[in-house]
Amino acid sequence: MSLVQSTPSSASDLEPLEDAELIQAAANGQRRALAVLYDRHAPTMLGLALRVLSQRHEAEDLVHDVFLEAWKRAADYDPNRGSVRAWLLLRTRSRALDRKKSARVKRSVSLEAESLPELSQSGADAAPDQRLVREVLRELPTEQREVLLLGYFEGLSSSEISAHIGIPIGTVKSRVASALSKLRGALKAGESAVHPIPRPGGKP
């Protein structure tokens, strides 16, 4: 039994609904509501699963499993703890990390190459700025690196990060600001090293 196969005519009446309304409809037994949610969010979930697992078929299987779980647990969704999108993404990430059996990243974001696709180049093939950003990310305190990657690489809002890791939203924003400040400082320093500011008289 597939939860994701649908035709536009079978779900068109549900497409205008908000995500929270769709998950409530799924909790009430409307399978087509879950199909609409799949169409909306499966591509993002698949991208996240791919970054963790690296193998497409495993990532596709995991996304399907997450939607099966969402079908069974739809009534457990709490809008006060974040959006439906965040609820699905966090389940995807958790299941992917479990499948990868990496206990050390169960509460943090992995810094392996697949977790940073836009910074995946290394060595001579990587731009200097990319290498510098990777170095700074590795050197950030764990709590700052976590909120930064959740926000900028997994697309979660400050409130969603707050609900996910159980800290005040003000703390989330403070950690993000500190991490970004360090990144900007490192990039500025790197640029100055490559292009020194001329001193008076034209000498570097």
Domains defined along the chain, listed by start: 1-103 (1.10.1740.10), 107-204 (1.10.10.10)
Asked if pLDDT for residue 33 goes beyond 60, the answer is yes
Identify the band that residue 162 occupies on the pLDDT scale cut at 50, 70 and 90.
Answer: confident
The CA–CA distances, whole Å, from 54 to 36, 46, 47, 113, 177 equal 26, 11, 10, 10, 30
Mean pLDDT of the chain: 75
- Pick the range with the lowest mean pLDDT from 2-16, 45-59, 139-153: 2-16
- Binned at pLDDT 50, 70 and 90, residue 146 comes out as confident
For residues 20 and 23, what is the distance between their CA atoms, to the nearest angstrom? 5
Q: What percent of the chain has pLDDT over 90?
A: 24
Structural tokens at position 52: 């963790």
Give residue-wise pLDDT tens across range 53-104.
Answer: 888 888 999 999 999 999 999 999 988 888 999 999 999 988 888 877 543 3
CB of 22 closer than 8 Å to CB of 36: yes
Q: Residue 7: its pLDDT value, please?
A: 37
pLDDT at 200 over 70: no
Top pLDDT among 11 and 72 is at 72
pLDDT at residue 158 tops 90: no
Residue 202 pLDDT level (bands cut at 50, 70, 90): very low
Percent of the chain past pLDDT 70, that is, above it, reads 70
Q: Are 73 and 82 in contact (CB under 8 A)?
A: no
pLDDT of amino acid 123? 45
